[in-house]
Amino acid sequence: MNTLPIGVFDSGIGGLTVLAALSRALPHEDLLYLGDTARVPYGTRSPETVTRYSARVASHLYRRGVKALVIACNTATTHALPTLTAAGAAVGVPVIGVVKPGVDEADRVSRGRHVAILGTEGTVRAGRYQAALEARGLRAEGVACPLFVSLAEEGWIEGDVPRLVAERYLGGLRGGPDTVILGCTHFPLLRPIIQAVLPGVMLIDSAEATAVATAKALGEAGLLRGDEGPGRRDFLVTDNLERFITVGRTFLGQPPEPAMLVDLDEAVGPFHEPPAR
């Protein structure tokens, strides 16, 4: 079991920010990433549709064999975490989402007890982050920043265009929350711009927080691999492999390879034999 990869799932490319954080926190683990590029974006879809798509991806990864599943997508975690956790429990796979780690970190660092969550339309409208923050006694507000997703994928992460967009979305937060959760996989790329618009505000990267939470959860479950050299990273996508590799470079700092196309409904066996070490 310990030699199986950790499954990492996102609607497309953005989850590579979570994969990068996982690689840093768990350098000896094999990571198997699946980006559902045929159905991206999830952020504008209904909770029911996102849950259906997410369940299909998770089931594919369970059939390939993963020892844990990280939902590296805020929108998918927001809508589908209970469904995926139940399906994971049925096959003995722990499931970790990105919402709780970000909320835990905000709770830990917020001095003013006032937190804003930035996300996709779906994440903000569902209010799961806000409810979790309020349950900790924090004041919470959500701001949907859908254009940040396109800007990050376009590579427009510095200069006038993203600064004006950030000013428009976030200018109203000045003087309000002391802590802001980057509650979308794409937003860490825009961190310098967001910080420039909100100087002095504590920014929480839910990708980093999730990687730390995953390492802790696997350690507690006795599922960590020892130091047997660097883990491997493999990438699966459901459409447009070339774009994934090209755009993915911005998110990962290097091309996400080896990568291949998959059909989620095809019969699959284990992704790879544990490599000889």
Q: Quickly list DSSP for the chain.
A: -TTSPEEEEESSSTTHHHHHHHHHH-TTS-EEEEE-TTT---TTS-HHHHHHHHHHHHHHHHHH--SEEEE--HHHHHHHHHHHHHHHHHTT--EE-SHHHHHHHHHHH-SSSEEEEEE-HHHHHHTHHHHHHHHTT-EEEEEE-HHHHHHHHHT--SSHHHHHHHHHHHGGGTTS-SEEEE-STTGGGGHHHHHHHSTTPEEEEHHHHHHHHHHHHHHHTT----S-SPPPEEEEESS-HHHHHHHHHHHHSS---SEEE--TTS----SSPPPP-
Q: Is 43 in the site for ligand DGL (CB under 6 A)?
A: yes
Which residue's Cβ has the minimum distance to ligand DGL?
43
Q: Is 11 in the site for ligand DGL (CB under 6 A)?
A: yes
Q: Which is nearer to ligand DGL, 4 or 189 (CB)?
A: 189
Q: Which of 5, 35, 41, 65 binds ligand DGL (CB under 6 A)?
A: 41
Q: Is 14 in the site for ligand DGL (CB under 6 A)?
A: yes
For ligand DGL, which stretch binds (CB under 6 A), given 73-81, 135-143, 192-200, 221-229? 73-81
Q: Is 17 in the site for ligand DGL (CB under 6 A)?
A: no
Cβ at position 234, least distance to ligand DGL in Å: 19
Binding mask 140-179 for ligand DGL (x = CB under 6 A): ---------x------------------------------
| Total of chain residues touching ligand DGL, rule CB under 6 A | 17
For ligand DGL, which stretch binds (CB under 6 A), given 8-16, 59-67, 131-139, 240-248? 8-16
> Which listed residue (50, 69, 73, 236) is catalytic?
73
**Site residues (vs ligand DGL, CB under 6 A):** 10-12, 14, 40-43, 73-75, 120, 123, 149, 184-186
Residues tagged active-site:
73, 184
